[in-house]
Amino acid sequence: MNSDPLDIFYFRVSKKGENVQDLNHQEDVMLKRFDFVKSPLILKEKGSAYQLENIKNRTEFVKILDICFDSTNISIEDLFLQKYEKKRIRIFVWDLNRIMRNLKFNLLFSVLAMIHDVRIYSYSDKEINDKPLDSDEEFIRLLFAMISAKKAQDYSDDLSKNIKKAFKKVDGISVSRKGHKLGQKFRDLEGNSVDLKVKDVIKLKTRVFELIDEYLGKGYSSFAREIVERIKKEFNIQLSTRYINKLKHDI
């Protein structure tokens, strides 16, 4: 009789303080959705799947590479000569882009999973790879992975470009492209005036631009109140919905 497979649930958010509560929600939903072994390995972390230089900081993802592909011991030559051991492993993710938001490396992960017979289950993408695939099915799956990864990378590329386009320098002062000065006063949660340094204002506004792009990317048209609440939690700063809408038009 075959032993039970190793089931891995992997949850990731992009940055510290960003949608951390969603991890617990995703975990609850997915544990109810999928059948799994009694004691699955549950991995959670915060880190970018877009900036390759920061992948080393995603320690739980690196752990997956080692568990699934024996990455610390298996070489490229070993793969071609098939000098590796296949394991019964299933990976459960909220969506395929939780793994990587880079086209080439997302596809590489999918190919490695196929080579090692690792099954990937995605909740949002409704993709459940629970059986061996023939060549046509493998082609379709890789094509789907490429399309999904391309969309994720394009979104992240556009976000980065939009933030850069939103700022410029005028006489050494950082302002928005619409001419709004960045080094202005803000208010804390008690209503007291707070005079932030320009670098802190840039950090704050960059975060607002990220959130705006996040909500636009999800198809929302009205989301200023949600951003105000998230900025409260992350920066202890009280913004107005009018201010959020003004920044929305700056992009």
* Residues 102 and 153 sit within 8 Å (Cβ to Cβ): yes
Per-residue pLDDT, 47: 82
Pairing of strands 119-122, 167-170: unpaired
- Phi first, then psi: give them for residue 57, nearest 5 degrees: -80, -10
pLDDT, tens digit, 9 for 90 and up, residues 188-206: 898 888 877 767 777 888 8
Q: Which CATH class is domain 6-153?
A: alpha beta
Residue with the bigger pLDDT between 139 and 98: it is 98
| CA-only gyration radius of the chain, Å | 22
Is the pLDDT at 35 greater than 60? The verdict is: yes
State the span(s) of the chain assigned CATH 3.40.50.1390.
6-153
**Band of pLDDT at residue 219, cut at 50, 70 and 90:** low
- Asked if residues 83 and 116 have their Cβ atoms less than 8 Å apart, the reply is no
Question: What spatial distance separates the first Cα and last Cα of the chain, rounded to whole Å?
Answer: 59
Q: Please state, in angstroms and rounded to a whole number, the distance separating the CA atoms of residues 30 and 121.
A: 10
Mean pLDDT of 207-221: 77
What residues pair up with 167 in beta bridges, in sequence order?
A: 176
Average pLDDT, the chain: 78
Euclidean distance between CA atoms 77 and 26, whole angstroms: 38
Say how far apart CA 233 and CA 210 lie, in whole Å: 15
The overall pTM is greater than 0.85:
no
Q: Both tokens of residue 198? A: 């320009």
pLDDT reading at 247 higher than 50: yes
Question: 178 or 216, which is more confident?
Answer: 216
DSSP state of 39: S
Question: What's the pLDDT band for 10 if we cut at 50, 70, 90?
Answer: very high
pLDDT tens for 95-109 read: 888 888 888 888 899
For residue 65, pLDDT beyond 90? yes
